[in-house]
Structure 1
Amino acid sequence: MIEIIPATDIIDGRCVRLTQGDYTRKKTYCDDPLEAALRFEEAGIRRLHMVDLDGAKAAEPRNLRVLERIAARTSLEVQYGGGIKSREALEEVFNAGAGRAICGSIAVRQPELPAAWIAEFGAGRIILGADIRDGKVAIQGWTETAGITAEELIGRFRRDGLTQAICTDIARDGMLCGVAVEFYARLQRQFPEVEITVSGGIGTMADIEALRSEGLRSVIVGKALYEGRITLKEIERCLQNG
């Protein structure tokens, strides 16, 4: 079974989607992300992927109130990313109700911090975010490119006990063009002890099935869900059938 995780990207408290990580190509889908979260929960979804896009730019969480409302009103486990640059910010995110925290830019710039957080909070609560553009990791809300690959970044934290990594294909993100199945399958085979969560390009349930058949364990679905390419009924059937 592959876990399907809806994406809720937040700007100014609203649920939006960007195209290829471009802040100027933004579309608002829901003024209140809690409404979407309640629909996801009703369909049997267990986990929500929340990215604070304001926080990613500001280098500190900016939409914790949205997280607090969803955590208080649903049973969804929220994995939250965007602006987590310090232990203080990490604690704020956990205190606001996140079950897991995503470390992206900080993992490149100060890798000793996420390594320490894995040791302190447990590998089950810390997710490595590896956003890829042209084969290299992008940081700071996808506005800068670092000279390191996803494989190198994941490998750097494997010895620290890393068990979860989200890998986003920025070129495909929001494009509904299909997913790079071979890339993700190769990455999962290279790091069998790490749950590689696929993100970017999902357009149909067939894309999800292709990933499942290659042994991927989780996938983030965003624009395809909000635009009806994938329906909650389809996801519900998928979850029921295992």
Structure 2
Amino acid sequence: MVQTPARVLTIAGSDSGGGAGIQADLKTMLALGVHGMSVIAAVTAQNSLGVQGYWELPPEAVRAQYRSVVDDIGVQAVKTGMLASPVLVETVAELLATQKAAVVVDPVSVSKHGDALLAEEALDAVRGKLLPTATVVTPNLFEVQQLTGLEVREEADMRKAAEAVLAFGPEWVLVKGGHLKGEAADLLFDGSREHWFRSDRFDNRHTHGTGCTLASAIASYLALGRDVPRAVGAAKEYVTGAIREGFPLGAGIGPVDHGWRFRA
């Protein structure tokens, strides 16, 4: 008898270039053996050179997509990405507050190219409503600074940054140190337990979609039954390989390779 795979839902923006957002999430989920489903919160016009524009979906469309999936198919984990506006952040937070699946929040605010993907006025809703729903939140150093006002200049600053993000209510915080010099070191912290995940740094500029891919991989491994530290460790291994195998696409920054294990 064929068994139904673990199910993971992504709530995020669509990347027309296929390297990040909903597209990266679904590719990651397929690569890791779970069934990926989607709630599209916004549509971007995006390529290797940047984001040329984005359009939010109305809250009722986001709510209807979510209810359609969750009420019939069910989920073991949810991942959120680009939510764009205060009303969409609030809508998604309200939906997530009523369900029991693991939630991975990627607090997306800018693209790899520096284009804004979250309205400044939405930050309060992220802090006060979305982060309290999270099993794991995965900010990079720029997002840490936006959320807390703290600037992480070296690895020693990451514990304080994690504590500041944790104060908003998530169960775990994964502070991503990929923009620091040296090893690519990430800190996972829940207020008492501290786990460090390290990997080599690769001389490869084609890293579009890294954050989306990591968060989706964590959600996938949580859906498969791993606890948070083991899910993060496995996701870190997967995304490290994807970064290593990132490939040129278009005239700008290419994507990580979500299918690298198929060709390893």
TM-score band w.r.t. shorter chain:
0.3 to 0.5
TM-score by length of 2: 0.41
TM-score by length of 1: 0.43
In terms of fraction of residues, the more strand-rich structure is: 1
